[in-house]
Structure 1
Amino acid sequence: MQNQTLKVEGMSCNHCVNSIEGALRNIGVTAKVDLKNGTVQVQYDENNVNLEKIKHEIEEQGYDVV
């Protein structure tokens, strides 16, 4: 399992948390959104999904991974 913390801009509320965590859960990624710090901590199996796919899913929800 890989652990990574991503800096994400545009998150401000619980809808943001649910949107990102739900989208990542659908691709087999465990995510924890931290609104205060503007980060998303992800845990994933690199044999099933890569970091680029995770970033893409976050961006598809309307947020920017920086």
Structure 2
Amino acid sequence: MNQTFTVTGMTCGHCEASVKRALLQLDPGAQVQIDRSQNRVEVSGSQQSREALAAAIREEGYDVAA
């Protein structure tokens, strides 16, 4: 399943790495692509719910648009 999130607050490579790490800890089999300039996080192949993935991003301190 492919899911796209609009995530604000990512300002550097460390931010990207934090978001990616959080998502992969939740679902190690997922593929995560981040386009910081577009505030876009794409998750494919995840078996987790959209809400669980968004919660993992929020736990890292970033805002996720609905």
Flag the structure with higher helix content.
Answer: 2
Per the alignment, residue 52 of structure 1 pairs with 51
Q: Which runs of 5+ in 2 are unaligned?
A: none
Per the alignment, residue 35 of structure 2 pairs with 34
Mapped to 1, the partners of 2:52 and 2:31 lie a distance apart of 14
1:4 shift after superposition: 1.2
Mapped to 2, the partners of 1:4 and 1:61 lie a distance apart of 18
In angstroms, what is the RMSD of aligned CA positions? 0.8
Post-superposition Cα deviations, 1:5-25, rounded to whole Å, max 9, x if no partner, equal 110110110011100000101
Mapped to 1, the partners of 2:53 and 2:21 lie a distance apart of 12
Consecutive aligned runs of 4 or more in structure 1 exceeding 3 Å deviation = none
What fraction of aligned residue pairs are identical, expressed as a percent? Answer: 35
Aligned length in residues = 62
Superposition TM-score, scaled by structure 2 size: 0.88
Contact 1:9 1:65 in 2 (8 A): yes
Mapped to 1, the partners of 2:53 and 2:35 lie a distance apart of 16
